[in-house]
Amino acid sequence: MLDTPTQAQAPGRPADDRVGIWLVGGRGSIGTTVAVGLHVIANELAAPTGCTTAGDAFVGVPLPRFADLVLGGHDISATPLVRRAGQLADSGMIPPRLVAAAQAGLEQADREIRPGYDPATHEGAQADAVHRLAADITGFRARHGLRTVVVVDVASTEAIPEDRPEFHDPDLLTQVLADPDGVLLPASVITALAAIESGSGYACFTPSAAMTLPSVRALADARGIVFAGQDGKTGETLLRTAIAPMFVARGMHVHSWAGANLLGGGDGATLADPEAVRSKLASKTRGLRSLVGEHVVAPLHIDNVPDLGDIKTAWDHIHAEGFLGSRITMQTIWSAYDSMLAAPLILDLARLLALAERAGVRGVVPELGFFFKDPWGSDVHDFSQQTTELHAWAHATAARVAATTTTSGQSEAFGR
């Protein structure tokens, strides 16, 4: 057991609170890290360091235990998790001894990964794809006797699609889906529709179209699933939303906030595509403008530097004006394995959405904006304010669960 401040013995949970995490892109860098991490944490071979929900602020909140989380997913890659994990160990990202310890868990999770929806090879009506994906999820739920499943989209970032009428009208969308010659929808939309059809919780960790399309969103609301998004806030943007409010609170005027990001790995290669990177860049700057003002000059670059592997390095240069026009400059340099920042948030999102569903919450959960660059249902980007809201929401939701729970056995479940 690592020595971390956030580790604590989880109190008993109801035997029936087993929850599925269905990762779309489950064989990617994040997916693989989640799989290794979940296994070693559930087996108490590692502390849940980096998991927000393992912190003291969540004591008393009846989240599913790590050991009650079950992994499955979709991917269009056939590289087995064990192999991918080995690569990530060789690259220095995951400690080899943890990969070795997680071998059985990886093999088991890998057996639950089904072929994803691949726009490049798809034939026939897209509705069929949605049905197939949804059936994979409901089958998984049944097979493992899960109370609920949370679908998390961690597939490769897509290009921003050109706007189309079916993005705005659910009926048109249904028509396009049914038409074997219908214009292809982005893969992230197919994923979201499968989550809706299967009645799962859903979290969008990518900056892709997904449930941002009004027609898809309408279907989600109609079906009453619980969901949150969008685009995991893990590195540079996390920092920015922690730091920017400081300048504002002190009456300083932020003139410019420039950023340079260097990364390799799978995400680096994807973002080398100028189309794919556009959605990411937009998502990263929005929060900044909302915090320090629209006037801010904020050039931002993401460069694919393959030799850096999975370590992402971000340099930010901030110029603020202070008293009597004086110049204040601040620079930040952030360096971390990107997937190591993302993976614990996937576990957090699954636990929190599972809690929400247990409490009967439906629709978007704005308080989960804490996890996202582009929070759905919320204009709050200030990380500290998001923290306060998340904690309050978790305890309020816990209270709702408690209010609907009467047996003494279940009340024991509270805690971490």
Ligand X SMILES: NC(=O)c1ccc[n+]([C@@H]2O[C@H](COP(=O)([O-])OP(=O)(O)OC[C@H]3O[C@@H](n4cnc5c(N)ncnc54)[C@H](O)[C@@H]3O)[C@@H](O)[C@H]2O)c1
> Which of Na ion, its own copies, ligand X, none does residue 319 bind to, with CB < 5 to 8 Å depending on kind?
its own copies
- Residue spans of beta strands (DSSP E) within 338-410: 363-364
Contact call for residues 304 and 268 (beta carbons, < 8 A) = yes
Does residue 301 interact with its own copies by CB under 8 A? yes
Does residue 229 interact with Na ion by CB under 5 A? no
Name residues whose C-beta falls within 8 Å of residue 391's C-beta, 6 or more positions apart in sequence.
57, 58
Does residue 402 interact with its own copies by CB under 8 A? no
CB-nearest residue to ligand X:
28
Hunting for tokens 């979201």 — which residue is that? Answer: 192
Does residue 380 interact with ligand X by CB under 6 A? no
Contact call for residues 140 and 112 (beta carbons, < 8 A) = yes
CB 85 → ligand X: shortest distance, Å? 12
| Separation CA 308–CA 255 (nearest Å) | 31
Does residue 375 interact with Na ion by CB under 5 A? yes
Stretch that binds ligand X, among 13-21, 40-48, 152-160, 384-392 (CB under 6 A): 152-160
DSSP per position, 54-76: GSGGGTT--PPPGGGEEEEEEES
Of residues 183-212, which lie at the interface with Na ion (CB under 5 A)?
A: none
CB 60 → ligand X: shortest distance, Å? 29
Number of residues that bind ligand X (CB under 6 A): 30
Does residue 287 interact with Na ion by CB under 5 A? no
Q: Pattern 50-79, binding to its own copies, x per CB under 8 A? A: xxxxxx-x----------------------
CB 352 → its own copies: shortest distance, Å? 13
CB atoms within 10 A of CB 384: 12
For 286-305, give one letter per residue: b (16+ CB within 10 A) or e: bbbeebbeeebebebebebb
Contact call for residues 96 and 89 (beta carbons, < 8 A) = yes
Q: Using the minimum distance from each CB to its own copies, give the nearer residue, 188 or 386.
A: 386
Does residue 116 interact with ligand X by CB under 6 A? yes
CB 80 → Na ion: shortest distance, Å? 38
For 161-180, give one letter per residue: b (16+ CB within 10 A) or e: beeeebbeebeebeebbeee
Residue from 26, 28, 48, 266 binding its own copies (CB under 8 A): 48
Of residues 315-354, which lie at the interface with ligand X (CB under 6 A)?
A: 338-339, 341-342
Name residues whose C-beta falls within 8 Å of residue 217's C-beta, 6 or more positions apart in sequence.
211
Q: Using the minimum distance from each CB to Na ion, give the nearer residue, 50 or 366.
A: 366
CB 251 → its own copies: shortest distance, Å? 5
Distance of CA 24 to the CA centre of its chain: 11
Q: Pattern 7-36, binding to its own copies, x per CB under 8 A? A: --------------------------x--x
Stretch that binds its own copies, among 62-70, 113-121, 135-143, 332-340 (CB under 8 A): 332-340
Q: Using the minimum distance from each CB to its own copies, give the nearer residue, 101 or 172.
A: 101
> Which of its own copies, Na ion, ligand X, none does residue 77 bind to, with CB < 5 to 8 Å depending on kind?
ligand X
Phi and psi torsions of 63, nearest 5°: -75, 155
Distance of CA 89 to the CA centre of its chain: 22
* Residue 297 DSSP symbol: B
Hunting for tokens 């989640």 — which residue is that? Answer: 34
Phi and psi torsions of 315, nearest 5°: -115, 130
Q: Using the minimum distance from each CB to ligand X, give the nearer residue, 186 or 201.
A: 186
CB 378 → Na ion: shortest distance, Å? 5
Of residues 161-200, which lie at the interface with ligand X (CB under 6 A)?
A: 187
Of residues 311-330, which lie at the interface with Na ion (CB under 5 A)?
A: none
